[in-house]
Amino acid sequence: MNIMLKRLAGLACLGAFFLLQGCERPPIETVQRGYRGVAMGEVYNPRRVADQAANNAIPDVAPALPGPGPKASTVYKNLKVLGDTDSAEFVGIMAAMTAWVAPSQGCTYCHDAANFASDGLYTKVVARRMLQMTQHLNQDWKSHVAGTGVTCYTCHRGQPVPANIWFGNDGEKHADGVLGDHAGKNEPSQIAGLSSLPFDPLSTFLDAPNEIRVVGQTALPTGNRKSIKQTEWTYALMIHMSESLGVNCTYCHNSRSFTDWDQSTPQRATAWYGIRMVRDLNGAYLDPLATTLPPNRHGPMGDGPKVDCATCHQGAYKPLYGKSMLSDFPALAAKTSTN
Ligand code: HEC
Ligand code: HEC
Ligand code: HEC
Ligand code: HEC
């Protein structure tokens, strides 16, 4: 009997040990983000914040500012985006793009060394579209990126392929029919950890304009298709958004009413624009680029890589903690007339 009890106690200890493996080591601190009593605390761990600081430092790259020189289009042959920039500024942008996107590969990652005007390498064609995308983001999506804006570094961080990209995913193969229909769940999720939530909410919400609404606005379910299934899809997306920014749900919502905008923080409105911005980036830039990228860059369904909240944010509430590089690179801040 005694031995049985000891064994049980041993098992319980082992169980508790494995359970606690899922917990984060203290200290845990909280900051109030709402009025007193509304329980809108932001929970964070200073150790993890310190780890993050290095990832969010701005690289040491010489600025590219206009000089008194001639326009780049008078010096070079094949410019479709940066023709109107000053020629010295143009060379500065090329140097910065190399540092931001292909530091170990150098200029020849995008250029044929024998002929810089050639568009022979796919990477140059993609980079030209990326220049247009960056200018479009900074000029037309101020509702999200504000004056801070983005550069190539915001997403690329010194690598040709950004660390956070995603592809369409139709899951593992299953039997046909009702038994095979698992509603997009119960497989390792690409975004919401190993939860049993739908594993691909990104195609649904960040590459298509589906409504992100699950709370009924009327007492009776009149004309209201809100279901548990839709709620699960919404939660999977919300977990992605929280994890991408390194914040809790209460960074944007007061959990007593997730739907009510009056009780939400201003950050929720910024996030609302962010969702529309990401759809625009995927629809107008990334999806069409799939045909320019070689097959080894495609996902399992043959589609191209896409952007989500983590592509820029990488775990920070503002990418690079809100530091802006645009004043050093004015050509990236707005569309140029040859564009
Ligand atoms: C990430 C890709 C990329 C890298 C790396 C890169 N470039 Fe470029 N380069 C481009 C693109 C895109 C254009 C065309 C811009 C346009 O259409 O306005 C271009 C155009 C040029 C041109 C103009 C050629 C002509 O006559 O039309 C020169 C010169 C040039 N780059 C030099 C460099 C140098 C030098 C480096 C290395 C320090 C470099 N580039 C690194 C993408 C790149
Ligand atoms: C909003 C995020 C974002 C920004 C900003 C951005 N990129 Fe990209 N870039 C991507 C994604 C996503 C891909 C697709 C990755 C792939 O090619 O597999 C990509 C691909 C590329 C590629 C192809 C790399 C390869 O090896 O396939 C080049 C070159 C590139 N970007 C250059 C640039 C340049 C230059 C800038 C700035 C003018 C820039 N990017 C800005 C997200 C971004
Ligand atoms: C960065 C801000 C942000 C974070 C963090 C966030 N949300 Fe949201 N949430 C939004 C926005 C914006 C919408 C509305 C989306 C739209 O209309 O396109 C929304 C919508 C919702 C809705 C639907 C409300 C309705 O009217 O039906 C629910 C439920 C929800 N969020 C729950 C959560 C939960 C749970 C978490 C934490 C896991 C969370 N959210 C984290 C911004 C956020
Ligand atoms: C193209 C890069 C990019 C992408 C993609 C992106 N963001 Fe942002 N986001 C930014 C920048 C830059 C800022 C800082 C703006 C500023 O300084 O006010 C920002 C700010 C925010 C803020 C305000 C934070 C605060 O404390 O004021 C929220 C919330 C946010 N983003 C949510 C999202 C969500 C949710 C997504 C995905 C649907 C997303 N972002 C995708 C670039 C991006």
User: What pLDDT is recorded for position 267?
Assistant: 96
CA distance between the termini of the chain: 82
What is the CA(235)–ligand 3 centre distance, in A? 8
Q: Which atom of ligand 1 is nearest to the CA of 130?
A: 12
**Residue 37 and residue 27: Cα distance in Å, rounded?**
23
What is the CA(141)–ligand 4 centre distance, in A? 10
Q: Is the CB of 312 under 6 A from ligand 2?
A: yes
User: What pLDDT is recorded for position 177?
Assistant: 66
User: What pLDDT is recorded for position 339?
Assistant: 46
Q: Is the CB of 40 under 6 A from ligand 3?
A: no
Backbone angles phi, psi at 248, to 5 degrees: -90, 175
Please say whether the beta carbons of 306 and 169 come within 8 A.
no
- pLDDT beneath 70: ranges in the chain: 1-2, 4-5, 8, 11-23, 172-195, 223-225, 337-339
What is the CA(305)–ligand 2 centre distance, in A? 10
What is the CA(54)–ligand 3 centre distance, in A? 29
User: What pLDDT is recorded for position 245?
Assistant: 94
Please say whether the beta carbons of 247 and 171 come within 8 A.
no
Q: Would you state the structure tokens that stand for residue 227, as one six-digit string?
A: 């279901």
User: What pLDDT is recorded for position 37?
Assistant: 72
What is the CA(289)–ligand 2 centre distance, in A? 10
User: What pLDDT is recorded for position 190?
Assistant: 59
Q: Which atom of ligand 1 is nearest to the CA of 82?
A: 18
Any residues with CB less than 8 A from the CB of 155 and at least 6 apart, and which? 162, 307, 311, 312
Question: Is cis: bond before 46, omega within 30 of 0?
Answer: no
Q: Which atom of ligand 2 is nearest to the CA of 311?
A: 2
Q: Is the CB of 145 under 6 A from ligand 2?
A: no
Q: Is the CB of 131 under 6 A from ligand 2?
A: yes
